[in-house]
Amino acid sequence: MSMLHIVNKSPFERNALDACLRLAKSGSSLLLIEDAVYAAMKGTTVSDKVAAAMKDMKVYVLGADLKARGVGEEKLMEGIDVVDYAGFVDLVAEHDNNQSWL
């Protein structure tokens, strides 16, 4: 089964992303929204674990939430796909199921 994992909490403040990465099966997808978009930034204390996760997971980030927070594309890690709201809907539709990590 293909799972879309959705994380919306800052990785610097909460352990939602850690829990997701620990329990997600390889081959599943991860969508970062709201305060979790900071996890897509390069050069942070969480960049290494996100990079490690990207070896067996596809990682997406919601563009509108990046833009709201002033995080430009030049700050993003390589290999993370920026999606818009329509892309969010497509991801939900393309996967068999989705799981939110609050």
70 lies in the site for other proteins, by CB under 8 A: yes
49 lies in the site for other proteins, by CB under 8 A: no
Mode of pairing for the β-strands spanning 3-7 and 97-101? parallel
80 lies in the site for other proteins, by CB under 8 A: no
Alpha helices in the chain, H assignment, sequence order: 16-23, 47-53, 63-68, 85-94
* Closer by beta carbon to other proteins, 28 or else 80: 80
102 lies in the site for other proteins, by CB under 8 A: no
Token pair for 82:
């920026």
Residue 61 CB, shortest distance to other proteins, in Å, is 13
Residue 70 CB, shortest distance to other proteins, in Å, is 4
20 lies in the site for other proteins, by CB under 8 A: no
Write b or e for each residue in 48-63: b if 16 or more Cβ atoms lie within 10 A of its Cβ, otherwise e.
eebeebeeebbbbbbb
Pick one of 12, 90, 97, 100: the residue that binds other proteins (CB under 8 A): 12
Q: Are 12 and 49 in contact (CB under 8 A)?
A: no
User: Considering only residues 23-42, where is the footprint of other proteins by CB under 8 A?
Assistant: 34-35, 38, 41-42
Alpha-carbon span 99 to 102, nearest angstrom:
10
